[in-house]
Copies of this chain bind each other. A is one copy, B any other.
């Protein structure tokens, strides 16, 4: 078996774990497995992973080839973090809050309820100490993370029936993305589940779920939830801006030459910028399409938002009491957010308030 096919079979991380190749030599050919937590039909997310792979292959003149595999092909949607940690895959594209059952700190790499918007997330990560704090945290899992782009503020999900008051949430069986939201919603009487999106449609159709929340019009329209649960609520107060992340096996990343590491970062930045732009650009047309399909748009009642805010902050306080690292990251994020909300009053929020009021 030659070196390249060895790498193909066990993955670079496996080679490193076995102690066969302590450092990557220039021009050594590599094949990386990039596993995602999503079905292939979600072309915004999958397109980003494919774009990352194409750009990295191009920059490295073929030295790194990236094989993108959707959820369920090589490993299950929620198995990708451990896959990268162990070296079974070199990389994953995922929503880090899928792994809050391992540690609630994973949520900070993606979104916490009533958290940051897309631009604020980038700003906190790169200039608000977020990346440093998350690198320390992810390091425990042998993971190096890079931004993979942001969905922007999400919708609040698909409901069979209208929600006119907080009490209407009681007893609802609801699929949500993130673990901290599961805990917060339970305090409002919701039976919330953290479940891969590929399983949610069937569960909704078979009557095992009353509510499914996923992302926003562009993805949701394709997945067809509105046919069963026609009330589409906004805003998704648990995902003001959900960040997707590349998880890279930290040993694999560290073993790269400096130029290959820079290429991985450059390809990730390109693909991330592209993903964020794509979601924002394509949501309006999908929203219009949904409205033509008789979907009913509804705003969450203010008292429900307030009740949500209260149980979310209580959930965060519980985790702060249990984990010093959680407290440290959460305080960093909220302090940053507080200052951002101040600045926003004089800048983009003020500007958009005016633009929303005039007839363009």
List chain A positions with a Cβ less than 8 A from chain B: 55, 58-61, 114, 117-120, 122-128, 147, 152-155, 216-217, 234-237, 240-241, 258-259, 262-263, 265-267, 269-270, 272-274, 276-278, 280-285, 287, 297, 299, 305-306, 309, 334, 336-356, 358, 360
Contact = CB atoms under 8 A, between A and B. Distances in A.
Contact of A155 (B297, B309, B341, B347): B347
Given A269-B273, A281-B128, A285-B339, A114 B355 contact: yes
From A61, A269, A309, name the one whose CB has the most chain B CB atoms within 10 angstroms: A269
Contacts of A306: 358
Given A235-B346, A306-B358, 20 more contacts: A58-B258, A58-B259, A119-B119, A119-B152, A122-B280, A123-B276, A123-B280, A125-B277, A147-B273, A155-B347, A235-B347, A235-B348, A235-B350, A235-B351, A241-B348, A265-B270, A280-B340, A284-B339, A287-B342, A337-B355
A262 to B, nearest CB: 4
Q: Does more than half of chain A's interface fall in helix, strand or loop, or is it mixed? A: helix
A262 B58 CA distance: 7
Nearest to A216: B347
Contacts of A153: 347-348, 350-351
14 contacts: A55-B262, A58-B259, A114-B358, A118-B119, A122-B273, A126-B278, A235-B348, A237-B354, A265-B266, A266-B267, A266-B269, A281-B336, A341-B352, A344-B352
B349 A352 contact: yes
Nearest to A154: B347
A339 B126 CA distance: 30
Contacts of A340: 280, 284
A284 B348 CA distance: 13
Contacts of A299: 350
Copies of this chain in the oligomer: 2
A122 B235 contact: no
A124 to B, nearest CB: 7
B343 A360 contact: no
Nearest to A129: B281
A273 B272 contact: yes
A256 to B, nearest CB: 12
Contacts of A60: 259
Contact of A126 (B266, B281, B355): B281
Contacts of A345: 356
A278 B346 contact: no
A152 B352 CA distance: 12
Contact of A346 (B274, B287, B351): B287
Given A152-B119, A235-B350, A281 B127 contact: yes
B276 A266 contact: no
A122 to B, nearest CB: 4
Contact of A284 (B258, B342, B356, B360): B342
A311 to B, nearest CB: 14
A348 to B, nearest CB: 4
B341 A360 contact: yes
A59 B259 contact: yes
A339 B334 CA distance: 31
B276 A119 contact: yes
Q: Which of A273, A306, A346 has the most chain B CB atoms closer than 10 A to its own CB?
A: A346
